Amino acid sequence: MKESPVSAWHSLLADLGPTEHAVQLYQDDDFFGHAVSHFTAHGLLKNEAIIIVATKPHWENIAGRLTNKGFDIEELRRAGQLTLLDADETLPKFLVNDMPDGRTFKGIAHDTIEKARANGRYANVRWWGEMVNVLYVEGNGQASTRLEEFFDEVAHQESIAIFCSFLMDKFDRQVYDGPLQNVCRTHGHLIPSEDYSQHKECVDRAVLEVFRGMESQLLHWLGNSKRWSGPEMPGSQALLLWLMESKPDIAGRVLALARHWENTSRSPRERPS
């Protein structure tokens, strides 16, 4: 399991504090597992309680990485520091007509957090879950967003750190038609990519190419981008979101080119099949 170079998201996830709510967009299991195990490992090292709500394949990915980092999964579960819930089994408990029932969900969430605190043995709690992603991948975006809103409320009520992972392509034009904006609305931090430098390089290159000969116009637009607001994220991702909002036709071309440059900059071995 290859670990990527250090990026700003490492320190963000390592130090994610109570009430903070972060999300990663991923397309490959390597980045997914790297980020979740990093978030989990740092919580464990800080003697925080960890709640993981995962599908079975993803739990195997996370557990393998934690074991490689030297953690004894069974011992952590026995000691009560690590709570594991199955995402596919937990979801139906609070879904009514394909929509999450807030009261039932919050009841389950509060009970789980209370147990995880173990009568004060663990002052801080970290929660990573993918039920919102399961709903999104199944095509139920509305339920996914609603559940994310409930999670955000719980994070503030319980003062816990929450980290989510979405199987979402940051250069896909379609995710900018609402899904990504919903993700931004319900999270405080967005991690769009494993490699921020590469993300910036691809976006900058694409923007310069699309605006070739129109540099003055670009500067004029950029100069008026001040009012755009969103969660904390790398500047290159914020630029894409702003561009999509203010110049959607141009943004589509920028996204396509950025993806092209991303694919070009990867070695053939690393390219997704």
Partner 1 sequence: MSYITESGIPDIGKIPWGSHFCQMYSTRGDLAQSVIPYFMAGLINNERCIWATSEPYHAEEAAADFKKIVPGLDTMTEEGRLRICGYNEWHTREGLGTEHWLEEEQRSLREGYEGLRIAANTSFVTPADWDAFMQYERDIHKRINGRRVVALCSYNITKIEPTNAFEMVRAHQFSIRRNNGFWEVLGSDG
Rule CB under 8 A: which residues touch partner 1?
8, 200, 203-204, 207-208, 211, 216, 218-220, 222-228, 234-236, 238-239, 242
User: Is the separation of the CB atoms in 189 and 231 below 8 Å?
Assistant: yes
How far apart are CB 243 and partner 1 at their closest, in Å?
A: 9
Reduce the secondary structure of 123-176 to three states and give it as a string.
CCEEEEECHHHHHHHCCCHHHHHHHHHHHHHHHHHHCCEEEEEEECCCCCHHHH
Which pair of structure tokens corresponds to residue 257?
Answer: 């080119």
How far apart are CB 248 and partner 1 at their closest, in Å?
A: 17
Residue 39 vs 196, nearer CB to partner 1: 196
How far apart are CB 176 and partner 1 at their closest, in Å?
A: 16
Residue type, position 238, single letter: A
Residue 6 vs 96, nearer CB to partner 1: 6
Residue 1 vs 219, nearer CB to partner 1: 219
How far apart are CB 167 and partner 1 at their closest, in Å?
A: 25
Residue 153 vs 201, nearer CB to partner 1: 201
Q: What is the C-alpha separation between 48 and 149, in angstroms, rounded? A: 24
Residue type, position 202, single letter: C
